[in-house]
């Protein structure tokens, strides 16, 4: 059951924003799992259950994105976009 995100989640997300690189992430992967991934999966499961209950005829599926999948980079290796 999703209980909400806590301050550790927010702190982790700011840290990712400031340290957006794989070596840093590998060092903090346990924090990612405990403070972000588990609550996000719980939220996703609850939202999915509600949507499928209300819109069963559409046949929705539940998927999560991979953490290293964003490959958008400019030619010099910087991120394509570092904010929205």
Q: What is the pLDDT of residues 21-67, one digit of tens each?
A: 888 999 999 999 999 999 999 999 999 999 999 998 998 888 777 66
Residues 6+ apart with CB under 8 A from 62: 44, 45, 48
Contact 8, 35 (CB under 8 A): yes
Domain count, the chain: 1
* pLDDT score of 17: 86
CA distances from 55 to 7, 44, 48, 60, 74 (A): 34, 16, 10, 8, 40
80: in domain: no
Which residue range is the domain that position 26 belongs to?
1-75
35: in domain: yes
18: in domain: yes
Q: Does residue 69 surpass a pLDDT of 70?
A: no
13: in domain: yes
Task: In whole angstroms, give the CA distance from residue 83 to residue 12.
Answer: 16
* pLDDT score of 64: 72
Q: Which residue pairs from 15-20 have beta carbons closer than 8 angstroms and sit at least 24 positions apart in sequence?
A: 17/82, 20/79, 20/82
């Amino acid at each position: 059951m999703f209980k909400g995100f806590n301050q550790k989640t927010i702190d982790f997300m700011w840290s990712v924003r400031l340290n957006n690189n794989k070596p840093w992430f590998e060092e903090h992967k346990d924090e990612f799992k405990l403070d972000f991934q588990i609550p996000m999966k719980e939220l996703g499961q609850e939202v999915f259950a509600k949507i499928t209950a209300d819109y069963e005829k559409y046949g929705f599926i539940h998927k999560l994105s991979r953490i290293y999948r964003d490959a958008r980079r400019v030619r010099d290796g910087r991120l394509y976009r570092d904010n929205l």
